[in-house]
Amino acid sequence: MKTFYNHLHAQHQGKVEMFRGALVPCFEVPARADHVLAELKRRQLGTAVNPQSFDDSALTSIHSPRYLNFLATAWDQWVALDAANADKDILPSVWPTRTFRTDIEPENFSAKVGLYSYDAGSPFTSGTWVAARAGAHCALSAAQALLDGDRASFALSRPPGHHAGADFFGGYCFLNNAAIAAQHLRDAGMKKVAVLDVDYHHGNGTQAIFYDRPDVFFASIHGDPRTEYPFYLGHADEKGQGAGLGANLNLPLPRGTNYATWAQALDTSLAAIDKFGAEALVVSLGMDTFEGDPISGFTLKSDDYLRVGERLARVGLPTVFIFEGGYAVEEVGINAVNVLEAFA
């Protein structure tokens, strides 16, 4: 299996994030991807290759032009406000909520940051755009590998993507890599594609992007949003809308859920994807379902990820894996590579 490795990922290195009323060191650190790469090499699982470049139409098919323009220019705008800002990351602090207008982009920079985000946990750094854009190219390259005949591929990249919507960042995510990969498969002629999100957190961005579409099925197994981030989306009654009605499946589970129960939800998802008739599968591979994850609440063990890989392989679809969350830094490589090795 080819791994498309984002060699620019470490350019995105947030300093602090807002967490329980304090600014704390970021959980989403470069070492996460380094551990996965090291474990792939240790087990000699396939080759790590650089992504190809794609033109910006691959991004505008998912994200709005004004949002992409914001991402591309945010750091320069920030430093132009005050040269001393170069030593700090951008963190949003004001947002439009119900009754506010979002059709007019404000001139004030802080107001722009709030327009295009939804939490204060996702610092935007000097290298965020460069890293995120190269990450999207990894996702596109991994999707292209399937089109070129590979059975499976892996986009090893950060920042992650599944919380990013058409025009907002949040949850450590800026560009929605899984959505970009799925759209690339559609644009190349596949009629139906499924995205399966196994990260601990609901993939609100991916769901929102495809919510009214019948051609991309979205299934997600995640911590119940009544208690878990991202809180405001991911309930079981969200089934898609308009032409997309029936093409969205949320399987929220309570904190403390173990592998036996989680695996039943996986089987439910895979049966729905099979019934949908997808030609390819995009897996948002978050490893924060692990028992040792510092910010999550399921209790999967390292060996359970071997079973996950086996079950995914049994679906028999060409599969792109996209790296998402997972913050037990020492174990994230073992756990991710367990899925990939068992799949292969």
Shortest CB 277 distance to ligand OKS, Å = 28
Q: Is the backbone of residue 152 left (phi > 0), alpha (psi -120 to 50) or beta?
A: beta
Shortest CB 326 distance to Zn ion, Å = 7
The span from the CA of 288 to the CA of 198, in Å, is 9
Shortest CB 22 distance to ligand OKS, Å = 10
Output DSSP code: residue 134: H
Residue nearest to Zn ion (CB): 325
Residue closer to ligand OKS, measured from CB, 46 or 225: 225
Q: Any contact of residue 70 with Zn ion (CB under 5 A)?
A: no
HEC profile for 73-91? HHHHHHHHHCHHHHHCCEC
Residue closer to ligand OKS, measured from CB, 266 or 285: 285
Helix (H, G, I), strand (E, B) or coil at 226: coil
Q: Where are the alpha helices (DSSP H) in the chain?
A: 31-42, 57-60, 65-81, 109-115, 128-147, 177-187, 204-210, 259-276, 304-314, 329-343
Among 10, 16, 18, 111, binds ligand OKS (CB under 6 A): 18
Cα Rg of the chain, angstroms: 19
Among 19, 105, 261, 342, binds ligand OKS (CB under 6 A): 19
Residue closer to ligand OKS, measured from CB, 27 or 67: 27
By annotation, the residues acting in catalysis are 163
Helix (H, G, I), strand (E, B) or coil at 284: strand
Q: Among residue numbers 171 through 190, which ones bind ligand OKS (CB under 6 A)?
A: 171-172
Helix (H, G, I), strand (E, B) or coil at 156: strand
Strands in 193-197's sheet, in edge-to-edge order, are 48-49, 2-5, 152-156, 319-323, 280-285, 193-197, 216-223, 248-253
Q: Which does 19 bind (CB under 5 to 8 A by kind): ligand OKS, Zn ion, none?
A: ligand OKS
Residue closer to Zn ion, measured from CB, 119 or 199: 199
Q: How many residues does the chain have?
A: 344
Q: Any contact of residue 200 with Zn ion (CB under 5 A)?
A: yes
**Residue span 285-304 as binding mask against Zn ion, x where in contact by CB under 5 A, dash where not:** -x-x----------------
CA distances from 176 to 64, 87, 171, 237, 328 (A): 12, 27, 11, 23, 22
Residue closer to Zn ion, measured from CB, 244 or 286: 286
Output DSSP code: residue 139: H
**Residue span 264-293 as binding mask against ligand OKS, x where in contact by CB under 6 A, dash where not:** ----------------------x-x-----
Residue closer to Zn ion, measured from CB, 199 or 331: 199
Among 12, 35, 163, 201, binds Zn ion (CB under 5 A): 201
Segment near ligand OKS (CB under 6 A), from 15-23, 36-44, 95-103, 297-305? 15-23
Shortest CB 325 distance to Zn ion, Å = 3
Phi, psi of 217 (to 5 degrees): -85, 135
Shortest CB 237 distance to Zn ion, Å = 22
Binding site for Zn ion (CB under 5 A): 199-201, 286, 288, 325
Binding site for ligand OKS (CB under 6 A): 17-19, 121, 163, 171-172, 199, 201, 229, 286, 288, 295, 324-325
